[in-house]
């Protein structure tokens, strides 16, 4: 981040001592691997609840698409068949 906030950010330090500007940005390849999503129980529960909410609102395609965010094709098909 640059511009008018640069001087403020230069003075701000996090607990680990790194400057906010200096923190490494994750590479795009790290986001291509979705295995982190299937191991996160809290994320899976949230997607389940979101899908159920969409389903009961009559938004079947959005309910199914919620599972596609986790590459859970089996649950996606189950939601579509349920409608």
Mean pLDDT of residues grouped by 10 in the chain (83 residues)? 60 56 60 64 91 95 93 92 89
- pLDDT at position 43, please? 86
Q: Alpha-carbon distance 68 to 49, whole Å?
A: 14
pLDDT score at 42: 87
Q: Could you state, in order of their start, the residue ranges of all structural domains in the chain?
A: 3-82
**Sequential DSSP letters for 4-70:** GGHHHHHH-B-TTS-BGGGSPPPPHHHHH--HHHHH-HHHHHHHHHHHHHHHHTT-HHHHHHHHHTT
For residue 12, the model assigns a pLDDT of 59
């Amino acid at each position: 981040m640059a511009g008018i906030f640069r001087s403020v950010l230069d003075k701000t330090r996090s607990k680990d001592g790194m400057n906010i500007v200096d923190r490494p940005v994750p590479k795009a390849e790290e986001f291509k691997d979705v295995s982190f999503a299937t191991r996160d129980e809290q994320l899976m529960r949230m997607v389940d609840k979101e899908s159920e909410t969409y389903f009961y609102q009559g938004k079947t395609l959005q309910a199914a698409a919620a599972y596609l965010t986790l590459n859970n094709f089996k649950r996606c098909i189950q939601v579509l068949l349920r409608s």
